[in-house]
Chain A
């Protein structure tokens, strides 16, 4: 039935992590709704906005690493996670 989707474990983990992030954010948002605020980003953002910006920039960080260097992508992942934390906290 879903054989044609060609699932691989790594992609499954990837989507599970994204889904998990969304679920956690939803619950967090229900427990304590976030207020729009202005951080170092040029626009006022809510927590969800910062998550989206973080995910999108993480994708670009990974692509940049792939394009310009041969280092393992774990480095890119680490950079992305660090950036995400900075963004969520001070963005």
Chain B
């Protein structure tokens, strides 16, 4: 649908603009201020220019947690998006069974994030948790508090458990929006199941998939509560993701300037990736 050019539409957007600007711009400006100063306490701050940025960019610890973060977010997207689409395709189309599936699948989404961590903290324990116990019974030596690989897999599994439902729900809704006539046409053409998916369902899922990918990318990139409760970042620092490194720095060591500088670098990275993705999708759409 062509949209009418009319700048008066700004009046309708103004409340959103003011509300978000209030909560977004003032803290952002403050963080930029932190990032160029060494702050000891109220009223005791020294201007250090870009020193923090220089340190942050060459800090091994931060580069490590950035790398871990990329690996984690990549794995999250690679697993959750296909799995979510698959689940959405399997869910019953309508009726009481459909509603029931919808509600049951949504349950993990409705649990506060620290409770998610608590659930898995117990669930994955070898002595009193069903999952940890089960895996040990299978003869695998599994211990998420001691073994790096196990800790990683547990955090990843927890995130898949927690967020695949979001992808599934979005895709399910997207699938329901496809008119029945499309499927009937495919049936007349004797299209294979794969062809129906590739040429009818997938293109129509694009808009919901964009939001799913963006949300999952942005949220997994700043994952904090769940691994913090589950592993506390350990063993060692193997599951210490960006947000946790930042929190330790800002709150634990009160190293505000450095943490602020790193937040801004981190923000720029997410901004660039999201913008590239967003622009690529928007323009691919326009060309067709």
Contacts and interface: CB of A to CB of B under 8 A. Distances in A.
Given A60-B268, A63-B53, A43 B283 contact: yes
Contacts, number: 52
Nearest to B33: A6
Nearest to B58: A67
B50 A73 contact: yes
Contacts of A59: 268
A43 B33 CA distance: 35
- Most interface-central of B7, B32, B37, B54 (chain A CB within 10 A): B32
A73 B29 CA distance: 21
Instruction: Provide the main secondary structure of the chain A interface.
Output: helix
B83 interface: no
B17 to A, nearest CB: 13
A7 interface: yes
A5 B30 contact: yes
A31 interface: no
A11 B29 contact: yes
Given A5-B29, A5-B30, A56 B271 contact: yes
A14 B35 CA distance: 13
B33 A3 contact: no
Given A6-B37, A56-B272, A73-B50, A63 B283 contact: no
Sort A-B residue pairs by CB-CB distance and give the 4 closest, nearest first: A67-B57, A6-B33, A5-B30, A66-B54
Given A4-B30, A5-B29, A5-B30, 14 more contacts: A3-B43, A5-B33, A7-B33, A8-B37, A8-B47, A11-B32, A56-B271, A56-B275, A60-B272, A63-B57, A66-B50, A66-B53, A66-B57, A67-B57
29 contacts: A3-B42, A4-B30, A5-B30, A5-B33, A6-B33, A6-B34, A6-B45, A8-B33, A8-B37, A8-B47, A10-B36, A10-B47, A10-B49, A11-B36, A15-B29, A15-B32, A43-B279, A43-B283, A44-B283, A56-B268, A56-B271, A59-B268, A60-B272, A63-B57, A63-B265, A66-B50, A66-B54, A66-B57, A67-B57
